Structure 1
Amino acid sequence: MAKVALISGYKPFELGIFQMDHPSVKFIKQALKKQILHLADEGLEWVLISGQLGTELWAAEVVFDLQLEGYHQLQLAVITPFYEQEQNWSDKNKEWYESVLAGADFIESVSHKPYEGPHQLRLKNQFVIEKSDILILFYDPEKEGSPKFIYEAAKQKDEAGSYEIRQITFYDLQVLVEEEQMNSNDSYD
């Protein structure tokens, strides 16, 4: 039974999303919610993110929504790769990040220094995989991007037989879009 779920995936710019209210965000959050709910019903206690823009912060918002819906056992941990990861972000993204940190139940950094190099990101990936039971990853190997690195690290632990990876792909999002279109068409009948 998974007690800690690590969630990661694409950053907004990797998906061509440059607005917080982009229509795709709704479906990404629905797909994340579906996975989190399934695990919450099996006893999930913690959702773990590293605070990256995009999938990870959307997952945090889903956790906050679920807490309001009565899933009080769900807690959010943000374990950043290094101090001040948001330093070069836009003001809008910094505000988004700060709002997630304000609602988090646990915040820590793997490296207690500012950015020094890619080794800090590799260490973060190893650490968060080690501290979690399952990875929910919005990633499609046919569209490479930053999630590739955590996916490859998780596959090593998965091959050892003690880890589960649940992927959300573009096909999964397409199914959600089609379901919503069918449901909205049904309401006009």
Structure 2
Amino acid sequence: MVKVLAVTGYKTHELGIFDEKHPGIKYIKKVLEKRLLSFIDDGLEWVLISGQLGVELWCAEVVIELKRNYPQLKLAVLTPFLNQESNWNELKKEQYNRVLQQADFVDSITKREYENPSQLKLKNQFIIEKSDGLLVIYDDDKPGSPSYYITYAKARTENSNYQLFYIFPDEIEQVYQDEMFDW
């Protein structure tokens, strides 16, 4: 049973999404919601993210919506370092701050501002260690940033009951197709 689920995926720029009005976000969120609901039915209590732009923040927004009907569900944002949003534009900072304000737990793993990439590595390890499973939006043909989490998750599955769950592009495409042809 997965009580604590880490969720990650691509950053906005890796998906070619540069505007929160992009139509693809709606379908990514629908797939995340569908998957999270199945985990909730099986006893999910916490969703962990690091707060990065893209899939993680969209997932947080889905969790915040789901909490209306599933108040037992909690959201934790464990940032890799303090002020990770300092170089983001104002719209992205607003989205991020809305999520932080509605999260049940917010903390920074390294307790200091960005110094070097080792803080990101530490974040990936820490979140995998603190969760029972990882849900990741991933495409084998486009490794990108999720591959770092996957490396730690795969290593953890080898000597524990840690679980790794994928959402592949065809699942998102299917949700899109279902909606387009739902007459």
Check whether TM > 0.5: yes
1:96 maps to 2:95: yes
Residues 65-84 of structure 1 aligned to structure 2 (within 5 Å): 65-68=65-68, 70-84=69-83
Given residue 103 of structure 1, which amino acid in structure 2 is its aligned partner? Q
Contact 1:141–1:148 (8 Å) recurs in 2? no
Corresponding position of 1:23: 23
Corresponding position of 2:40: 40
Given residue 142 of structure 1, which amino acid in structure 2 is its aligned partner? D
Given residue 57 of structure 1, which amino acid in structure 2 is its aligned partner? L
Given residue 151 of structure 1, which amino acid in structure 2 is its aligned partner? I
TM-score, normalising length: structure 2: 0.98
Contact 1:12–1:53 (8 Å) recurs in 2? yes
Which structure has the larger Rg? Answer: 1
Q: C-alpha distance in 2, partners of 1:7/1:147? A: 10
Secondary structure of 1:2 counterpart: coil
Structure 1 position 151, deviation (Å): 1.0
Given residue 58 of structure 1, which amino acid in structure 2 is its aligned partner? W
Structure 1 position 33, deviation (Å): 0.6
Given residue 42 of structure 2, which amino acid in structure 1 is its aligned partner? E
Given residue 86 of structure 1, which amino acid in structure 2 is its aligned partner? E
Secondary structure of 1:47 counterpart: strand
Corresponding position of 1:141: 140
Q: CA RMSD in A?
A: 0.8
Secondary structure of 1:48 counterpart: strand
Q: C-alpha distance in 2, partners of 1:141/1:79? A: 26
Structure 1 position 64, deviation (Å): 0.9
Shift >4 Å, 4+ stretches: none
Contact 1:27–1:173 (8 Å) recurs in 2? yes
Gaps of 5+ in 1: none
Residues 30-179 of structure 1 aligned to structure 2 (within 5 Å): 30-68=30-68, 70-179=69-178
Structure 1 position 161, deviation (Å): 3.6
Q: C-alpha distance in 2, partners of 1:135/1:180? A: 27
Q: C-alpha distance in 1, partners of 2:51/2:70? A: 21
Secondary structure of 2:113 counterpart: coil
Contact 1:83–1:114 (8 Å) recurs in 2? yes
Structure 1 position 78, deviation (Å): 0.4
Gaps of 5+ in 2: none
Structure 1 position 35, deviation (Å): 1.0
TM-score, normalising length: structure 1: 0.94
How many residues in Structure 1 have an aligned counterpart in Structure 2?
Answer: 183
